[in-house]
Structure 1
Amino acid sequence: MSARKPAPIPDTPLFDRAGSHRGYELNKMAMSLVSAANREAFAADEEAYLDRYKLSPEQRAAVLARDWQGMIRLGGNIFYILKISALDPMPVTAIGAAQVGMDHEDFLVERLGKERRNG
């Protein structure tokens, strides 16, 4: 009996074995940010910090641009990528909005049922 592969969810990158291998250095770099010294080094000079890791040019550009969707597509694991977002600081809902290509305020209203802010 063979295991059936689940049907893909449209526009949703699957974090599978191939994604894990593809994103290894990106995830390793992101996980390194649990150390206060590493967070300070990253904040002081992001490009120099990224030089410590064998990121692909696309991964490097995605980190520098805070392209959350791109990082996920390039093998980033959301739990590791959140380590990068904590430095900005970036609310997790803003990353969720970026993942689905929505404005953050619209995401809060449409996906989470929040009331629209007046202002």
Structure 2
Amino acid sequence: MGGPPMPRQVKVTTPGMPSVDPDSGNERPGLPMTKFSPAWLSQRSVVDISRSLTLVEKQDTTTSLWLLLVPLDTPLTRKSLVTDEKGDQYKVVSEVARRPDHRPLFFAAVLALISDMQTNDP
């Protein structure tokens, strides 16, 4: 039993662990980890996330949420950036499902499509 088919290829970029500069004592960002991974990426028809989205009246906003499944060796976290084969970028908007007591075959997360009008800031 190998889990669901993962016909797509994505690039997952995850910030590395920060380190402390020995000279200044300031924290500096770690090197990002990048992995090309097979994936199952599908647009969500039902939204069930534990936060609310507030839209200002007369604001023209579209929220596009996607479900991502990737193999367990993919470094996927809440801070990861996912890029698909077309170059579209997604940010993780949920906790990554890690269920060690159920012996999972993949990690799952909800993603939001990032348009060129948005930033990747959480």
Asked whether the two chains share a fold, i.e. TM above 0.5, the reply is no
Larger relative helix fraction? 1
**If the length of structure 2 is used for normalisation, what is the TM-score?**
0.23
**If the length of structure 1 is used for normalisation, what is the TM-score?**
0.24
